[in-house]
Amino acid sequence: MSRRRASGRSRCGGDLTAARGVTNRVVRRSRPTRTAPRRSSRGTARNAAVSGRRPKSKVRLKIRAGTAIAEPAKRFKGSDGQPTSLRLASGTEATTARRASKPAPAAPDRTPAAAAAAGGKPRPGVSGTGGSGTKGAGTQKSAGRGTAGAAAAVGPQETARRGEGRRHEPLMVQSVEVRPSGTVVSRRPIVKRKAVLHVPHQPAVRFDPPAWMLEECHVAPARAGDQAEILQLLAGLPSPPSRAEFHAAVDHPDHDSANRLVARLAGRIVGHVEIVPRSVRIGSGTVSAAVLDRVAVLPECRGAGHGQRLVRAAEERMRHFGAAVAFSRTRIAPSFHELGWSVLGRDCATPGRPTTILSRLLEGPKRDGEPVTMRQWRHVELPAILRIYTQNAVRFVGPLDRSEAYSRWLVSRGAFDSILVALMGQDRYDLHETTARIVGYCVQSGNRVLELFADPEFPGLEREILARACAEAIENDRQEIVYESSASDPLHQAVAGGESLVSANDRMIVAKVFKPLEVLTAAAPAVAARVIAAGIRETVELGLDAPGFRGSIIVADGKATVHAGRSGRSYLTLSDEELGRLLLGQCDPTEAAAAGRLKASTQVAEKLAMQLFPRMPLWCPMWDDLPA
């Protein structure tokens, strides 16, 4: 008896007291001292048979962070061996439905009435009221564990009906949340969720500037107190000038405070343009010119015509001090074309890797002749660099006529990092190039090659100078260099390889001719030289008829003269924009005639136009416009 009481205490975790004629009681503590051992498989099967339903099997779902399930549905088996379907919807929701297995056999009726009907005697301790004895105590202990007590209170048919209803209820995992402490799975009844409606695409709304922005701005020269506001406006440019560069502009040899124009609207500066006087080489002559630089308008004030008013005021200012032609670099060439400017071409800048460029140059043909020595320049060698620049500028249209005073100011600005020179002969400190002759130079600013020229007597030397520039870029760990020169320069092919030379970052060069007669007179010596080179000995005359100019050029005895007011028999009819392209060597008469931009009075006029005004390479040096 004492052993049985000790066994009951260890199993139930409470005090078990047995007395004669008194119903056995189980007194449970709030916290048991020992955990009940796991039941055996036979005990689980027996209790399931008594209760009339199969035990629940817990399906554990472990999802790691970042796990993606490719299949929409995957079947696996639970602990009870039954297949379970797991479906994961979009997002973090998932549904799982457990299929019903075969119904469990009905539990036998063990009541005294059923035993008497079957012809047997009722077993002691299995009564519905719970009799006395050791059998009853075991039954009470099973009821305390919650296995057979429920079946004793409910009939077997009711138990089977409720179990069948539960088996058909689907289980749904509503959301799975991964936390550092563990995975949290929340379950909810299946409900029909609302469809997710995506936000419709909003069409672009046309921006109409307010009325005060549409008022006509007042353009006037900048004042001394406007420097801070102008610097803030120019900060939005792709290459804004520094404060030191802005203040150093007063040191320019041709500086005039009236050449900086600003547009004011309601007392606020909304636009800016700077006019830089230059002397530009056209053929073998030189004409007075100007450059429009740093044209800028506030973003919120664009589209109201303030930029066009600024450009028109700048044109009047350039005509006032006698400029014959104006140039500008811009990315909005169509806006300048609407104002009568001629689109000449693009400002070519080709990027490339130094290692790749160096390998192409070394694989190319070698130059025949005496080897050269390359090193950094000295200030006393500035006249030699200016000489090489002048020898090469004759081949282009648009380069500046650099005087010695202008060249010294250009160097003093500091808008470069290094100047590499190539020497032929023994390298000594010489003022007059008696022992060593400078035959080439290269101007660099960071990873940009701004100018690279060689003496025309040494063809192919430019490739060696570029190879030396690439070698120095590799030593300085530069992954890219940008070669800037005329679009007709063959070194662009060595830099780009087989890739296209057209880049989205290239700017267009636009120009406008204010004095066609002066430009034609400056180009007359070069026109006479072309006639002599073509072998034409008779006198030729070609007239030009445009809305803004009417005149002709006559070449006789190797000399060219310009006559205003007459066009002659063979002449060309064209617009002012096309006339500017023709005088600046950027017009193909055959192409322009096919496109309808030019009309020749005779076939001789079209042939003469091709001989006298062929297409010339365009180049505007970037070194002169680079911010310091």
Residue 467, domain extent: 350-505
Q: Does the residue 414 lie in any domain?
A: yes
Average of per-residue pLDDT across 398-405: 90
CATH number at residue 277: 3.40.630.30
Q: Dihedrals φ, ψ of 414, to 5°?
A: 75, 25
C-alpha distances in Å from residue 571, one per residue of 554, 562, 567, 586, 600:
12, 14, 6, 19, 6
pLDDT for residue 343:
93
CATH number at residue 544: 3.30.1050.10
Q: Does the residue 623 lie in any domain?
A: no
Q: Rounded distance, CA 301 to CA 209, Å?
A: 8
* Cβ–Cβ < 8 Å for 583, 575: no
- Candidate from 250-259, 442-451, 548-557 with smallest mean pLDDT: 250-259
Q: Does the residue 28 lie in any domain?
A: yes
Whether 75 shows a pLDDT value over 70: the answer reads no
Q: Does the residue 617 lie in any domain?
A: no
Classify 264 in phi/psi space as left (phi over 0), alpha (psi -120 to 50) or beta.
beta
- Candidate from 187-196, 356-365, 407-416 with smallest mean pLDDT: 187-196
Whether 177 shows a pLDDT value over 90: the answer reads no
pLDDT for residue 627:
73
Nearest to 263 by CA among 255, 274, 254, 252: 274
> Ranked by mean pLDDT, which of 142-151, 152-161, 244-253 comes out on top?
244-253
Q: Does the residue 65 lie in any domain?
A: no
CB atoms within 10 A of CB 159: 20
Q: Does the residue 201 lie in any domain?
A: no
Query: What band does 149 get if pLDDT is binned at 50, 70 and 90?
Result: very low
Average of per-residue pLDDT across 151-161: 47
489: Cα separation from own chain's centroid: 29
Q: Rounded distance, CA 517 to CA 522, Å?
A: 9
* Cβ–Cβ < 8 Å for 278, 324: no
Q: Are residues 190 and 313 in the same domain?
A: no
CA angle 40, 41, 46 (to 5 degrees): 100
182-196 per-position pLDDT tens digit: 666 666 666 666 665
Q: Are residues 149 and 167 in the same domain?
A: no
pLDDT for residue 304:
83
Average of per-residue pLDDT across 424-452: 84
pLDDT for residue 288:
93
Query: What band does 238 get if pLDDT is binned at 50, 70 and 90?
Result: confident
Q: Are residues 132 and 177 in the same domain?
A: no
Q: Are residues 317 and 254 in the same domain?
A: yes
Beta pairing partners, 330: 508
Average pLDDT value over all residues in the chain: 75
Q: 3-state DSSP call for residue 350? A: strand
95-107 per-position pLDDT tens digit: 444 444 444 455 5
| Type of residue numbered 20 | R
Q: What is the pTM of this model?
A: 0.64
Average of per-residue pLDDT across 242-255: 72
Whether 615 shows a pLDDT value over 80: the answer reads yes
C-alpha distances in Å from residue 478, one per residue of 64, 448, 604:
45, 11, 55
Q: Are residues 226 and 287 in the same domain?
A: yes
pLDDT for residue 123:
47
**E strand residue ranges, 160-240:** 173-178, 183-187, 218-221
Query: What band does 478 get if pLDDT is binned at 50, 70 and 90?
Result: very high
pLDDT for residue 275:
92
Whether 20 shows a pLDDT value over 70: the answer reads no
- The answer for residues whose C-beta is within 8 angstroms of residue 518's C-beta and 6 or more apart is 287, 324
Per cent of the chain over pLDDT 70 is 63
Q: Are residues 131 and 47 in the same domain?
A: yes
Q: Are residues 287 and 404 in the same domain?
A: no
Q: Rounded distance, CA 350 to CA 489, Å?
A: 11
For 133-140, which contacts have Cβ atoms below 8 Å and span 24 or more sequence positions? 134/4, 136/24, 137/8, 137/16, 137/18, 137/24, 140/24, 140/26
Looking from the CA of 585 toward its CB, the CA atoms found within 13 Å total 24
**What would you report as the CA-atom Rg of the chain, rounded to the nearest whole angstrom?**
48
Q: Are residues 371 and 491 in the same domain?
A: yes
pLDDT for residue 197:
61
- Candidate from 188-192, 207-211, 310-314 with smallest mean pLDDT: 188-192
In total, the chain counts a number of residues equal to: 628
Q: Are residues 374 and 465 in the same domain?
A: yes
Classify 267 in phi/psi space as left (phi over 0), alpha (psi -120 to 50) or beta.
left
- The answer for residues whose C-beta is within 8 angstroms of residue 443's C-beta and 6 or more apart is 416, 418, 419, 449, 450, 451, 452, 623
Q: Are residues 449 and 573 in the same domain?
A: no
Structurally, the chain folds into a number of domains equal to 5
- Candidate from 198-212, 391-405, 460-474 with smallest mean pLDDT: 198-212
Q: Does the residue 344 lie in any domain?
A: no
pLDDT for residue 314:
95
Per cent of the chain over pLDDT 90 is 36
C-alpha distances in Å from residue 559, one per residue of 523, 528, 584, 593:
12, 6, 20, 28
Nearest to 457 by CA among 362, 367, 373, 526: 367
Whether 535 shows a pLDDT value over 60: the answer reads yes
Q: Rounded distance, CA 264 to CA 262, Å?
A: 6
Q: Are residues 523 and 577 in the same domain?
A: yes
CB atoms within 10 A of CB 518: 19
Structure tokens at 211: 């009325």
* Cβ–Cβ < 8 Å for 328, 505: no
Q: Are residues 364 and 447 in the same domain?
A: yes
Q: Does the residue 534 lie in any domain?
A: yes
* Cβ–Cβ < 8 Å for 277, 260: no
